[in-house]
Amino acid sequence: MIKVGVIGYGYWGPNLVRNFMEAQGSTVVSVCDQRSQRLVQLKTRYPTVKTVDNSSSLFQDPEIDAIVIATPVSSHFELAMAALQADKHVLVEKPLAANSDQATRLVEEAARRNKVLMVDHTFVYTSAVRKIRELITANALGDIYYYDAVRVNLGLFQHDVNVIWDLAIHDLSIMDYVLPSKAIAVSATGISNVPGQPENVAYITLFFEAPQIAHVHVNWLTPVKVRHTLIGGSEKMILYDDLEPSEKVKIYDKGITVSQSPEAVYEMLVSYRSGDMWAPRLDTTEALHREALHFIDCIENNKQPETDGHAGLRLVRIVEAAEKSLRGRGQLVEIE
C-alpha cells in the first residue's frame, strides 16, 4: 500500500485526494494546506486523514512514501526538491517548475535517488487522447500535416502565471504525447487586457523538423468555452472536442489527393476526397484515476512514468521559448 501525502487542498487538490483514496494500492494519510478552513472541509469528508499546515511535517513523516503537490507554480521546485531529498516519490501538478533550470535539477535529483518523478499532465491520461495517440502510432492518419488547438473560456484569471503557462501547457502536453515529432522552434504573440496582470490571450505557432506545423490559441477572455483540437493527416483527419459528452473523438476520411501524372499539368493538381466519419468507443475511466494507478504502478515496479520529469522538462522549455518569443513580439525562438 503506497501511503500518500498531499500538499495543497485548493482547486485541484480535492480531486487528487479523492482519486488516491479510491485507487487500489494507495491511501492518503496526510494533507497540508495553510488555510484552516480548507482542512476543516477535508476532515468532514475524510476524518481519518491527518491535517497539517506545514509541508515539512510530510517530508519528515516516515509513514509517507509519496508526495503529491498541488500548489502554485512558483512553489513547485522548492516543494518537489524537498520531497525528493526526503526520499519520497513525487507527483507534481503541471507545469513541473517555473523554469527549465529548476526542472532539470528535479530530473537529476530524482534519477540520483532512483525516485519516481511524475508530472500531472492530466489530459495524457484521458481515453480520448490515448485513442488519438493509438491512431497516429498505427499510421491511421498517414503523414501528419498540422495540429491546431483552441482552448478558451471566460476566466479563471491567474496572477502568478500567464495564459500560456496556465492553459497552453495542456495542449502542448497532448501534442508532445501524440505526435512522433518534437517541436524545434516557436513563435508566440499575446496581450494582457488587465493592467499589471499576465497575458490573458496568446497565439503560439510551433515548427518541427518534419513538414508539419502546430498552432495553439489560448484565451481567458471569451464569452464561450471551447476545447477543440484538429489534427490533419494525409489519409485521415481528427476532431477532438473535449466538451462533447460522448463522441469526443471523430475521425474523418477526408483530404486531398495531389496528382503527379504529366497530364495533370493541364488540370487541377489537387482533387478532394470525402469519405465517412466515425467516432470510436471510449471508456469512461476518469483520467485522474488512471493517472493515480499509473503513479502507484511506477513506484511499485520501478517504471518510468509516461509523463515523467523529462516530459515535464520538455514542456517547460517550450513554454519558456514561447514566452521569450512573446516578449519579442513573435520573434522565432529555437527550443533548447
Tell me, yes or no, whether 129 and 105 share the same domain: no
pTM for the whole thing?
0.92
CATH code for the domain in which residue 190 is found: 3.30.360.10
Tell me, yes or no, whether 236 and 135 share the same domain: yes
**Phi and psi at residue 98, to the nearest 5°:** -80, -15
Tell me, yes or no, whether 144 and 224 share the same domain: yes
Evaluate whether residue 302 is within a structural domain: no
Percent pLDDT > 90 in the chain is 89
Each residue's pLDDT tens digit, 6-32: 999 999 999 999 999 999 999 999 999
Write the DSSP string, 46-74: -TTSEEES-THHHHH-TT--EEEE-S-GG
Is residue 67 pLDDT above 90, yes or no?
yes
Tell me, yes or no, whether 108 and 129 share the same domain: no
Quote the cell numbers at residue 122: 492530466
Rounded-to-integer distance, Cα 296 and Cα 111, Å:
18
Q: Work out the pLDDT band at 266, boundaries 50, 70, 90.
A: low
Q: Could you say which of 77, 98, 115 is where a domain stops? A: 115
Q: Which strands form 66-69's sheet, in the order they lie side by side?
A: 50-52, 26-32, 2-7, 66-69, 89-93, 117-120
As a whole number of Å, the end-to-end CA separation of the chain is 39
Return the amino acid letter for 135: L
Q: Measuring CA to CA, how many Å separate 229 from each of 53, 175, 215?
A: 40, 10, 10
User: Would you state the pLDDT for residue 272?
Assistant: 73
Tell me, yes or no, whether 217 and 101 share the same domain: no
Evaluate whether residue 306 is within a structural domain: no
Rounded-to-integer distance, Cα 282 and Cα 123, Å:
14
Evaluate whether residue 141 is within a structural domain: yes
Q: Work out the pLDDT band at 256, boundaries 50, 70, 90.
A: confident
Quote the cell numbers at residue 192: 494582457
Tell me, yes or no, whether 143 and 254 share the same domain: yes
User: Would you state the pLDDT for residue 44?
Assistant: 92
Range of the domain at 193: 124-284+317-334
Evaluate whether residue 192 is within a structural domain: yes
Tell me, yes or no, whether 68 and 131 share the same domain: no
Report the pLDDT averaged over residues 274-296: 94
Tell me, yes or no, whether 43 and 83 share the same domain: yes
Total count of domains within the chain: 2
Each residue's pLDDT tens digit, 189-244: 999 999 999 999 999 999 999 899 999 999 999 999 999 999 999 999 999 999 99
Tell me, yes or no, whether 206 and 242 share the same domain: yes
Tell me, yes or no, whether 139 and 248 share the same domain: yes
Report the pLDDT averaged over residues 275-282: 91
Q: Could you say which of 115, 148, 176 is where a domain stops? A: 115
